[in-house]
Amino acid sequence: MSRQPPKSRSGERLVVLRGGESRAATGVVWLVGAGPGDPELLTIKALKALQAADVVVHDGLVSADILDLAPAAARRIDVAKRKSRHTLPQDEINRLLVAFAREGLTVVRLKAGDPFVFGRGGEELLACHEAGVECRVVPGVTAALAAGAPLTHRGAAQAVTFVTGHAAAGPDGLAGEPSLDWASLARPNQTVVIYMGLTTAPAIAGKLMAAGRAGSTPALIVENASRDDERRVPTPLAGLAEAAEGVHGPALLLVGEAVAEENLVRRPEALELLAAQAAGGVA
């Protein structure tokens, strides 16, 4: 993406060029994917952008370990939390990014996972474009890729679909049902990964089974993927709603033969357990 020519606006930082000429410098917005939580899953480019930040505008899901990679002097703004505990509206976030860049600052907009996967990154990119502010995008590892399960698998899944389980609240204030193409999602030979689907898990399981997915289809809930407190709960699809009841952290629901228990990545704890078993240490 090419740099936009600097525009002269009041309040912009002035840069003195060789020969004494001065011009207004517009900053840049870096739209950066922070990955699923483990700081080692950041890209090198994301790390470099963070290290150059004057301001970091971040979501609630971005961990302190990652935020600490920014310079101590960089201002941090959590747009997920305000005094009222409400998330800053998207328009205000867009305005904030543009305003900081117009002050000549290097702004890192840090988002969980990848900015363009259920992250509203497209809207922020557009807002920068419309304001004539340069926006550079650094992709991140989306949560599904850290689930510890194959998403495609020979003979089991030739396709993977990411969907949102979020449903707009009805007049009673309760979450309704997500509006999705259930017939297509219930087709075999694919893995369906549902983001933001914990509260609508009963509806999702019901709709998939009503559309023809067997209740015995393997499913998996992954909470806090890649973090120290990661938890994985395998269940048949018919048990998904019940399994979701005890899960509260950010979590994904995965459905399809590829995520059957025997295919899951063995985490270090599981490997230690297997080693102990092999040594006769565990009954």
Ligand X SMILES: C[S@@+](CC[C@H](N)C(=O)[O-])C[C@H]1O[C@@H](n2cnc3c(N)ncnc32)[C@H](O)[C@@H]1O
Residue closer to ligand X, measured from CB, 105 or 244: 244
Distances, alpha carbon 163 to alpha carbons 39, 167, 193, 255, 258, in Å? 25, 11, 6, 11, 17
Backbone angles phi, psi at 239, to 5 degrees: -100, 10
For residue 57, the minimal CB distance to ligand X (Å) is 15
Question: Closest by alpha carbon to 71, among 98, 100, 49, 45?
Answer: 49
In the chain, which residue ranges form alpha helices assigned H by DSSP?
44-51, 64-67, 90-102, 121-131, 182-185, 201-210, 240-245, 268-278
User: Residues near 58 by Cβ (< 8 Å), separated by ≥ 6?
Assistant: 34, 67, 76, 77, 78, 79, 80, 109, 110, 111
Out of 7, 68, 81, 91, pick the active-site residue: 81
Please say which residue, 134 or 223, places its beta carbon nearer to ligand X. Answer: 223
Q: Is 122 left (phi over 0), alpha (psi -120 to 50) or beta?
A: alpha
Q: What is the DSSP letter of 148?
A: S
**Can you give the binding site for ligand X, defined by CB under 6 A?**
36-37, 61, 111-114, 117-119, 142-143, 195-196, 222, 224-227, 250-252
Amino acid at 240: L
Judged by beta carbon, residue 76 or residue 227, the one nearer ligand X is: 227
Whether 207 sits among the annotated catalytic residues: the reply is no
Which tokens belong to 16?
A: 């003195």
Cβ 199 to ligand X, closest distance in Å?
Answer: 10
- Taking CB positions, which residue lies at the least distance from ligand X? 113
Closest approach of Cβ 247 to ligand X, in Å?
10
- Tell me how far, at minimum, the Cβ of 22 lies from ligand X, in Å: 40
As a whole number of angstroms, the distance between CA 271 and CA 223 comes to: 20
**Closer by beta carbon to ligand X, 32 or else 55:** 32
In the annotation, is 111 catalytic?
no
Q: What residue ranges in 119-262 does DSSP mark as E strands?
A: 134-138, 159-164, 190-195, 218-223, 231-236, 251-255
The answer for residues whose C-beta is within 8 angstroms of residue 50's C-beta and 6 or more apart is 32, 42, 56, 66, 69, 70, 108, 110
Nearer to ligand X, 104 or 148 (CB): 148
280: CB partners within 8 A, 6+ apart: none
Of the residues 59, 111, 114, 207, only one is catalytic, namely 59
Give least dist CB 93 to ligand X, A: 13
CB nearer ligand X, residue 221 or residue 237: 221
Give min distance, CB of 115 to ligand X, in A: 7
Q: Which residues are catalytic?
A: 59, 81
